[in-house]
Amino acid sequence: MDKLKQWLHGFAPERITVNHTERLRAGIGAFLGILCTGLTTYYIAGDTSALPFLIAPMGASAVLLFAVPSSPLAQPWSIIGGNTIAAFIGVTCAMWIAHPATAAALAVSLSIVAMFALRCLHPPSGAIALTAVLGGATIHAQGYWFVLAPVGINSLLLLLVAILFNNATRRPYPHLSTKASQQSANNIPAEMRFGFNTEDLNAVLKEYNQVLDVSRDDLQSLLQQTEMHAYRRRFGEIICADIMSKEVVTVVFGTLLEDAWLLMRQHQIKALPVIDRARRVIGIITQANFMQHANLEVYEGFETKLKSFIRRTHTLSSHKPEVVGQIMTSPATTASSNMHIIELIPLMTQANVHHHIPVVDDDRRLVGMVTQSDLVSALYHGRIANLRTLGLSS
């Protein structure tokens, strides 16, 4: 009985999570897409009494292009390649197979196989294959011209409207993968590694062995963001402002290297934010910068090399770096004061961070510094506090 209830539950529609604005956007886009496609095709084709200027499968294509523009099934090659290939196969089956039902079945099945092979799977294309077979004498009289008009023209025009409308309404189209988009501190980059990595996801998708109506990169991003929300819930709302060091030793572009090194030694720190007059972070100088530019990775003559590098040159010109701005890492990776500490984890893994991240306010002015030790301590104590709240720790 329980299995029967679960099976029947599968007939119930899933809740649609998009808001009313997005629903209205999709409806307006479909209206403009079909209207522009129909009118333009009418003016191009002229007399349409013998041949329809707009075929029914375009309505299904419009649903994909405007309601789910990020779907792999709605991308430009999917609609152009899928529709034209299905039309070609449908016309061929209609010509060579006399029995309509057999021709229709074979046209749809061959179209699916061809779309899989050419990576242009587009569900409405199945309807185009059927139209080519069952469209009647008018369609049959067109022969292979049916592939060009109206299928090719309709598909191209609808695609052009989709490109203009989706981008105008801030829906990037063609849809860019997360790898192609620029990553920012508020996004979950591909380097983020909590419970799974890219190889894990690839293995699971291979085992699943079904077509998903979402790109692989979008799926990875959604799963990583889900993990981010889970970690927020587990560790509470601890932000950078709660754990950062507010008394930060800083330097400016023109600070002498020997003065910067002395500050690091005096305060026993390994990094100094470089700021401008408005206290905006323009870079960061670390012990690693000194070692790299003084060739200190080779430890022979370490102290001699270091003293020679940081010592000020008193001549008028020098080929050796003299000030902080000449060897600093710029631009510096920064975090906002209201950023959740979980979001610091991918930042700390970047090669140029060296476990120190300047914290800035909404005006990009320096307000503090977070180190790897600060982050580890906050994660540990946040987890302990959460367990105590749940009654799982003494």
Q: List the alpha helices (DSSP H) in 63-171.
A: 76-96, 100-118, 124-134, 137-142, 145-146, 153-168
**What pLDDT, on the 0 to 100 scale, is given for residue 180?**
43
Which one-letter DSSP state was computed for residue 63? I
Distance in angstroms (rounded) separating the CA atoms of residues 155 and 136: 21
CATH superfamily of the 242-289+323-390 domain = CBS-domain (3.10.580.10)
Q: What is the pTM of this model?
A: 0.61
**What pLDDT, on the 0 to 100 scale, is given for residue 16?**
76
pLDDT in tens, the chain (394 residues): 777 777 777 777 777 778 899 999 999 999 999 999 999 988 887 766 667 889 999 999 999 999 999 899 999 999 999 999 999 999 999 999 999 999 999 999 999 999 999 999 999 999 999 999 999 988 999 999 999 989 999 999 999 999 999 999 999 899 875 444 434 334 444 444 456 677 777 888 888 887 777 777 777 777 777 777 776 666 667 888 888 999 999 999 999 988 998 999 899 888 999 999 999 999 999 888 887 776 655 555 556 656 666 666 665 555 678 888 888 888 888 999 998 887 887 777 765 566 889 999 988 899 999 988 888 887 776 655 554 554 554 4
**What pLDDT, on the 0 to 100 scale, is given for residue 383?**
54
**What pLDDT, on the 0 to 100 scale, is given for residue 351?**
56
**What pLDDT, on the 0 to 100 scale, is given for residue 161?**
97
- Own/partner contacts of 360-364, CB < 8 Å, gap of 24 or more, are 360/280, 360/281, 360/334, 360/335, 360/336, 361/336, 361/337, 362/336, 363/280, 364/280, 364/281, 364/334
Locate 105 and state its tokens. Answer: 């079945």
Burial class (CB in 10 A: 0-12, 13-18, 19+), 165: buried
Distance in angstroms (rounded) separating the CA atoms of residues 13 and 331: 49
**Could you state, in order of their start, the residue ranges of all structural domains in the chain?**
18-168, 198-235, 242-289+323-390
* 121 contacts 82 by C-beta, under 8 angstroms: yes
Burial class (CB in 10 A: 0-12, 13-18, 19+), 134: middle
* 127 contacts 51 by C-beta, under 8 angstroms: no
